[in-house]
Structure 1
């Protein structure tokens, strides 16, 4: 992990390289609050989707599905369960380590869990869309439609942010220096 702090030789304090006037603890608090806001958005979506998926097995139509569709359903439910676990994980992590003065490490681990949760949410949404369109339409175009939506998700969730990160981040700003 990149060192985002530098020592000020004049007074021996540590400050952020990004120009913010905050201590390492204040930075961890801010990053935690930002992460919690991000998690709330993803958590709500995955919990609603997962709740819906859990009810499908109890409908009369489920018994009439082909074995392939039932297997796809089971995979989708498992993916949804894993995504839910990863996106709720940061809350449990924070609760268990709270008061141990390891907030920067807790933020790092919570961030990793959130990223894994987002990837699992991507897989869950793709799998659920494939299952629903397959059952609803029996159309040969379903894989192509799902691939198009998956491409959209990848563009919005990963490609565009990575492009912006590369485009608007320079070596000078990474080092905390003004251009």
Structure 2
């Protein structure tokens, strides 16, 4: 019996045209090309861009949305899960990945990161592009060291981080 593909959540926010937005899209495409399922709420421009690029690369995208609306026909995903839970769906986002990529971020992202931390999910914050994710490795949610925090600033660094977690095979 084949085991499931790795799943990585893409959390955070960044505006179109920013370096973080472009790296979010590149991360989605990279994950798809490596056979990793992308989990995204697609609520911010950056997470939506990651999902769109993953789909364009032939990947699988699961989107967990706060509303109860199954009729979101323009939502970029392969599988849509309408939680009907509002912001409480952040726990589902935190638990749905073998690891969580964190891009920029506002209050919703912070709540997802704290929940992922509490449940021992590795965190992969994008650094060098501004936003809350720049601070995460130096300033974790608390002192417990619940999970690994591995920063990245390029797709090559993201690949090394994911390979270190056993979620992708490192290339040459």
Same fold (TM over 0.5): no
Larger radius of gyration: 1
Q: Which TM-score applies when normalising by structure 1? A: 0.25
User: Which gives a bigger RCO, structure 1 or 2 (Cα 8 Å, sep 6+)?
Assistant: 1
Q: Which TM-score applies when normalising by structure 2? A: 0.26
